[in-house]
Structure 1
Amino acid sequence: MTRQLKVVVTGGPGGGKTTALDLFRRELSHKIAIVPEAATLLFSSGINRSDDPLVLKSIQKTIFSLQQNLEAIQQSAYPDRLLVCDRGSLDGLAYWPGEEAEFFEAVDTTLEAEFARYDAVIFFESAATTGQDISSNNPARHESTEQAAVLDRKLQTVWSKHPNFHFVANSASFFRKIAFGIMTIENVINHHSRSAESQR
């Protein structure tokens, strides 16, 4: 039996990943299972954001654990589908108020171990990197344009080290960007599906 394939779709706030995932879910709902964004679930349930470093660390440790458990739930519920994660376990590094080594110690893992969890990473660059509006209907998002651009750079630094990293650059046309992003997701899924078939 081949290992279940898992792909991360991530990027800075205002990158369009959620829009792309919603469209992709409608097109391929019978082939994929979406792992929802852990941070949005947490902050939508009544947990407040904080600037206190100790609270921030507790929040990020909770998000990390929740992310892993959400992935495990979807893996068990949909063993024959490809998992597409709305953000991944290493996104917390961009929000961690301390050194990278401290983050890995706090959640008891390594960069290599987390990379090994995912077969591919698709990164949607934030519109904030070019000063574009990133206003959203997501009540869990609170970042300013400047903050979103900083987070985007931090996330890129982390995820670009993954051996199967795909970059969806920002564009003046949101429609073209989303279309390219969806095509990238589809290409990754098709590539891994063919690889899985060849191993059977």
Structure 2
Amino acid sequence: MKKRIVLTGGPGGGKTTALDLIRREFCGKIASVPEAATMMFSGGIDRAKNDTVLRTQQVAIFNLQKHLEDIQRATYPECVVLCDRGSLDGLAYWPDSKEDFFKTMGSSIEEEFARYDAVIFFETAAKSGESIRSNNPIRNESDKAAIELDTKLQAIWSQHPNFNLVGSSESFIRKVLFGIMTIENVIGQYKHY
């Protein structure tokens, strides 16, 4: 079976920009999966204001993410599936314990890691003091919140056996280019795509 790669990281990390560029570079060889949370929140669902709603939203995002990945896998069986975020991103937003997250989702960290052959993590620009403003109206995190989320996400995803970090740097263009090269290298590990 063709491979599945997740692009993730804190808000303002450059992953969406890199994904747009890599789609052009590997046209016809990759199938991209849009970010489930952005789809949901741009579709008229307001961000949670309490933990009960937050839990329900994260369950919906978790399931939507996995179903979108499975749809792309079935639709494009010959392509590498490149995911804008992965099923474990919701763990960074979960208001309760890690154990509660996996019990609620009916899964485990091992099961979720097994879905992905590689993780490419784009560290938030806020960690190097740069602005994280974007064209995504759904993203409303402050720099401080972006750093906190990035730290949580990195702690989760760095446990994956094929974790690749695209660190924050002062030049956004160099960072995105490094991210694209990292994606190319990971995809290049699978010569059959």
Q: TM-score by structure 2 length?
A: 0.98
Q: CA RMSD in A?
A: 0.9
Q: Which residue of 2 aligns with 1:123?
A: 121
One-letter code of the match for 1:52?
N
What is the percentage of aligned positions where both structures have the same residue? 58
2:29 is the counterpart of 1:31: yes
5+ residue gaps in structure 1? none
Q: Which residue of 1 aligns with 2:157?
A: 159
2:183 is the counterpart of 1:185: yes
Any idea what the Cα deviations from partners look like across 1:150-192, whole Å, max 9, x if unmatched?
A: 000000000000000000001111111000000000000011x
Contact 2:33 2:68 in 1 (8 A): yes
Q: 1:83 aligns to what SS in structure 2?
A: strand
Deviation for aligned residue 1:9: 0.5
Q: 2:28 aligns to what SS in structure 1?
A: coil
Superposed, 1:90-105 pairs within 5 Å as 90-105=88-103
One-letter code of the match for 2:148?
V
Distance (whole Å) between structure 2 residues aligned to residue 145 and residue 51 of structure 1 = 20
One-letter code of the match for 1:120?
A
Q: Which residue of 2 aligns with 1:173?
A: 171
Q: 2:170 aligns to what SS in structure 1?
A: coil
Any idea what the Cα deviations from partners look like across 1:64-100, whole Å, max 9, x if unmatched?
A: 0000110011011100000000000000000001101
Distance (whole Å) between structure 2 residues aligned to residue 147 and residue 129 of structure 1 = 11
- Between the two proteins, the alignment pairs up a number of residues equal to 193
Contact 2:128 2:169 in 1 (8 A): no
Superposed, 1:38-187 pairs within 5 Å as 38-187=36-185
One-letter code of the match for 1:60?
Q
One-letter code of the match for 2:187?
I
Distance (whole Å) between structure 2 residues aligned to residue 131 and residue 51 of structure 1 = 28
Distance (whole Å) between structure 1 residues aligned to residue 129 and residue 96 of structure 2 = 27
Contact 2:128 2:170 in 1 (8 A): no
Q: 1:152 aligns to what SS in structure 2?
A: helix
Q: 2:68 aligns to what SS in structure 1?
A: helix
Deviation for aligned residue 1:123: 0.2
Q: 1:22 aligns to what SS in structure 2?
A: helix
One-letter code of the match for 1:189?
I
Distance (whole Å) between structure 1 residues aligned to residue 144 and residue 49 of structure 2 = 17
Distance (whole Å) between structure 2 residues aligned to residue 72 and residue 169 of structure 1 = 29
5+ residue gaps in structure 2? none
Any idea what the Cα deviations from partners look like across 1:34-56, whole Å, max 9, x if unmatched?
A: 01000000001000002300000
Q: Which residue of 2 aligns with 1:8?
A: 6
Runs of 4+ more than 3 Å apart: none
Distance (whole Å) between structure 2 residues aligned to residue 131 and residue 59 of structure 1 = 31
Deviation for aligned residue 1:26: 1.0
One-letter code of the match for 2:175?
K
Q: 2:32 aligns to what SS in structure 1?
A: strand
